[in-house]
Each structure stands twice: as structure tokens, then as C-alpha cells.
């Protein structure tokens, strides 16, 4: 028979062992309860950090793209500004030339007028017109004391707008011929179409209309101290 003291000691030992196991389990559970949220939070922070890194990378790329576009826009603006400066310089130079011409107009006087005629509804130079312009160019060769006023005219047939355009083409054709064939400087020639205004003959007749289809080339030269030049007129075929 087991002594009562031994039974009591065994019972106390079992109770102590059970209590120790329960304490360790409780401690593990408590640790797990605290660690699990920390691990979850750590994972969330890592994911947030990863996303932030991606966002920062995209933001850096966006900033670089914006800077690149800004640099290109600045370069284009600088180029446009440079072109504008060049255009302004050319405009100033042209305006100065116009001012110089205007200031010298009173120093020029009409020397002669050459008239060339055109076929109906045409701005092409006829052989007769070319021959007259050839003669005029030979008289101006080597000279630099003149300017040419080239005025185009038409007969009364057709609308005002059409005849204005037609006479401008006639005057421009004369100006281009003198420049291309004889190197007469463009700045010495000034052309304008007057349409069917200023007729020199009766438009009711065929011969009169032929005379009105014309270009007049006025040769103006610098006035000399000895007096004004004598005006001469050379008419084209009618």
C-alpha cells in the first residue's frame, strides 16, 4: 500500500507540471497574437514602400519628360525669336530702302516712255513687245541713274476685278523679262496694274481697244543741275 505522503507528493508534482505546460502555451499564444499583426503590418509597409518606389520612378520619368518637352519648347522659341529678329532686320532694311527711294523721288524726272501692246485677253509678250524692250534695255545698259515705272492697262472688255489682275500680270511680265534677260535690278522697277482705267483710245472700236491693251514703261532719271531732261515717247504697234 502506497504511503499517503507519496500520493500527495505525486499529485503536487503533476499539478505543477500541468501548470507549467499551460503557462508556456499561454505565453506562445500571447506572442503569436502580438507577432501576427506585426508581420501583417510589416508586409503592408513593404508593399506600400514598393508601390511608393514605383510611383517615385514614374514621377521621375514624368519630370524628365516634362523637362525634355520644356527644353524643346525653349529651343523652338529661341529659334522663332531668332527668325523674328532676322525678319525685323529685313523689314527695317526694306523700309529704309523705301524711305530712301521716297526721299529721292523729287530728284527724278521723266525721260522717256516705252509702250508695248498685248493681244486680247493675254499677258504674253509679243515679238514686237520683246523687240521694244530689248531696245530699251540697250539704252539702260551700264547706267545706274534711273528707275522704271511699269504700268499695265486693258480695254473695257471684262470685269474690273479680272482686268486688274490681267494688267498686273502684263506689268509683271515686262518687269520679269527685263530682269531675266538683261539683269535690270528689281529694286529699280516698280509695276502696277490699272485695269481698264486710263484708256488712251476709244474702246468702241477694235483699233482703240488694241491701243488700250498696253504696258507703259516710264524711264525716270535723276535730274541734273543743268535742267530737266526732255521727255520722249516711244509707242508700240497698234
DSSP assignment of 28-50 equals HHHHHHHHHHHHHHHHHHHHHHH
d(CA 228, CA 10): 153
**What is the model's pLDDT at position 204?**
94
d(CA 115, CA 215): 6
- Indicate the average pLDDT of the chain: 81
Tell me how far the alpha carbon of residue 211 is from its chain's centroid: 44
In terms of pLDDT, which residue wins out, 167 or 233?
A: 167
Which of 42-46, 183-187, 229-233 shows the lowest mean pLDDT across its residues? 229-233
**What is the model's pLDDT at position 229?**
41
Q: Does the pLDDT value for residue 145 go beyond 70?
A: yes
- Give the E-state strand segments of 57-202 in sequence order: 108-117, 146-153, 189-193
Question: Quick one: 105-234 is in which CATH superfamily?
Answer: OmpA-like domain (3.30.1330.60)
- pTM for this model (two decimals): 0.52
**What is the model's pLDDT at position 186?**
92
Mean pLDDT value across residues 183-199? 93
Q: Domain-by-domain residue ranges, the chain? A: 105-234
Binned at pLDDT 50, 70 and 90, residue 129 comes out as: very high
Q: Do residues 163 and 153 make contact, with C-beta atoms less than 8 angstroms apart?
A: no
* pLDDT tens column, 202-221: 999 999 999 999 999 999 99
Question: Which set of grid coordinates corresponds to residue 128?
Answer: 514686237
* pLDDT tens column, 74-121: 888 888 878 767 766 765 665 565 556 556 556 788 999 999 999 999
* pLDDT tens column, 49-80: 788 888 888 877 888 888 888 888 888 888 88
Q: Does the pLDDT value for residue 163 go beyond 90?
A: yes
Amino acid at each position: 500500500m502506497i504511503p499517503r505522503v507519496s500520493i500527495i507528493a505525486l499529485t503536487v508534482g503533476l499539478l505543477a507540471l500541468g501548470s507549467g505546460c499551460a503557462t508556456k502555451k499561454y505565453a506562445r499564444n500571447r506572442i503569436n497574437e502580438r507577432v501576427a499583426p506585426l508581420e501583417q503590418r510589416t508586409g503592408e509597409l513593404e508593399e506600400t514602400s514598393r508601390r511608393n518606389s514605383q510611383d517615385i520612378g514614374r514621377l521621375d520619368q514624368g519630370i524628365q519628360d516634362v523637362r525634355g518637352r520644356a527644353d524643346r519648347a525653349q529651343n523652338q522659341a529661341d529659334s522663332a525669336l531668332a527668325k523674328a529678329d532676322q525678319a525685323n532686320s529685313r523689314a527695317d532694311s526694306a523700309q529704309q530702302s523705301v524711305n530712301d527711294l521716297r526721299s529721292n523721288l523729287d530728284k527724278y524726272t521723266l525721260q522717256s516712255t516705252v509702250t508695248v501692246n498685248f493681244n486680247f485677253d493675254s499677258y504674253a509678250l509679243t515679238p514686237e513687245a520683246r523687240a521694244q524692250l530689248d531696245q530699251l534695255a540697250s539704252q539702260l545698259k551700264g547706267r545706274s541713274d534711273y528707275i522704271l515705272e511699269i504700268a499695265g492697262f486693258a480695254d473695257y472688255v471684262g470685269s474690273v476685278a479680272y482686268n486688274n489682275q490681267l494688267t498686273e500680270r502684263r506689268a509683271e511680265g515686262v518687269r520679269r523679262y527685263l530682269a531675266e534677260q538683261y539683269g535690270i535690278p528689281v529694286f529699280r522697277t516698280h509695276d502696277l496694274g490699272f485695269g481698264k482705267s486710263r484708256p488712251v483710245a476709244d474702246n468702241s472700236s477694235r483699233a482703240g481697244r488694241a491701243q488700250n491693251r498696253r504696258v507703259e514703261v516710264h524711264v525716270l532719271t535723276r535730274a541734273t543741275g543743268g535742267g530737266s531732261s526732255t521727255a520722249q515717247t516711244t509707242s508700240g504697234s497698234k
